[in-house]
Structures are given as C-alpha cells and as structure tokens.
Structure 1
C-alpha cells in the first residue's frame, strides 16, 4: 500500500471528523448562548440552562456521528470529492441558520404563552428538541439534495458508459 493512499485516507478521515465536530458545535451553540445570556443577566440559575444544553448535546452528538459516517461513505463512493464538501458546507450553513433563527422565531411566538409554560419544563425541552430536530432534518435534506444535484451528471455519464450504442445504419427504414 502506498504512502499516498494512507495519507489521503487520513486526511479524509480527519476532515470528516472536523466537520462532525463543527456540526455538533452548531447544534449546541444556541443552548450555550442562552446559558451565557441567562447567567450574565441574572435571569435564571445555571442549572435551568443545563437541560437545554443536555438536549442539544445529545442531538448534536447524534448528528455529528451521522455527518461523519455520511462524509466517509460519500468521499469513497464518488469521483468528485469537492461535490461532497460543497453539499456538506451548504448543510452546515442551513443548520446554523435554522438552529438559531428557527428557535428564536418559535420562542418569540411563544412569548404570550410564557405563563402556561413556566411550570412545564418538559414541554419547553420537547419544543427545544423538536425545533433542533427539524433544523437537523432540513440540513440533511439540503446536503443530500445538493450532493445529488451536483453528482447527477457524473451518474448519467457512468450509466452511459455501460450501455451498448447501436449505430444508426442498423435501424431499418421504411417498414
């Protein structure tokens, strides 16, 4: 086995791991921001923000594993590795936007329901986790859609090479 192949594999594995850590960080970031804002403003004790952080950490860890496995698989199954990373970058941007903006919109809309939700911590955790799951699902859909769109010409070309072409003079005319 050549050194080039081993180095290429290590770089591919390392890049997938770095991306997985970034995806984890993007999912956890809104909970960290709420925790630091609550502590800085003296609004809530730090233990109340830890449950949001725990939910985000579990979802982020799961999504990081999914990203790592997907990137390793896609990088070995396609000839054009930049397409893999273009799709992944688009997914990371979609995840960053949705995990923060969608949460802000949902929590803003629930501002009028603050009193009913005050004593129901599990409802807020379920809402938080649901919104984060929706952001993750949309990010995965974006990644898969962009990757398929970018690799469609590659797949069509590969499918065309395996087909036998019949020359035009073999067709009968005027039957």
Structure 2
C-alpha cells in the first residue's frame, strides 16, 4: 500500500462482530505500517480498540518491524446491535425459547427483520447520521463494514463510496441466495 492510505472500519461494539474487525485491523496494521486505520463504533468498544492497537504495536516491536500507527477510534452515539436486539419489540429471546416445529419456525422467520435491524426508526436514523459524520471526518480511501452495522451498509451503498463487507461468516451466507435459477433450493454450490 503506497502512501498514507486511510481505512475506516465500521462495526458494532458486540465482540462477536468486532473481533473480526480488530483482528483484521491488527493484521493490516502490521502488513501496511503506513496505513491510517480508523475504527468507528459505539463507546463500549473504545477500550478494545485501544488494547488491540497497543498489542499490535508491541508485536511489531517484538518482531523488529516498523511500528504501525495506533488505531484511531471514532465514537458513534447510539446503541450497538446486541443491545438493540434486547428491545421488547424484537422478541428474539422469546422466539429462541420456542420448541422446534413448523409453526414456531414460521414465528422465527417472522422476526428476522427485527433481528437484522433492531433499532427504532429514530435510532437507526441517528446512527446513520453519526456514520455519515465519521465518514466525512475521516474521508477514507476504503470503508470496511461489518454486515450487522446496517447503517454503514446503507450509507456506503447509497453514497457509492469505495467499500467492502467484512464478515465473521462464510461466503455461503451471502452467495447461496444469489444462485441463479433457484439453485439455492436444490444444490450448493453451483
């Protein structure tokens, strides 16, 4: 990577999602020590970002390679995906306790939109505006979004910026629905 490229990660503060971002930022920082790595998330992740940054720099020192710049944390006001799923109207936890069966499976599918986007419209819009603010402050060469940070996905898609998705899941979760001729229903992969 030539020059001081700016990379901006958007992630929820929930460690299941954020761990992938922190690990990727760590590897990227060691491989491209001149990159400016920004991580935007909710306040609960600030400490994790600071510790990951110090750990990355300690590893670089130990390996006697150029010490990368520390990560730059940008706090996003609002609540992370994990906390938002605990809203009573998502009913995720009640649904998880249902016995397996056709009717209960249908109930589970019915709540998927609330699980994927558990914020109220106002919360979603407020976080979207925070995402927009951080993006314009950083002006990254590339934005990297974790898939449950739907405000970031929405912003990057509609603003047509350079961006990509970084997921802790396999490609299968994204590719199967895209199989042509309903192949997702009868074979995988095509």
Same fold (TM over 0.5): no
Higher helix residue share: 1
Pick the structure with greater CA Rg: 1
Query: TM-score normalized by structure 2?
Result: 0.27
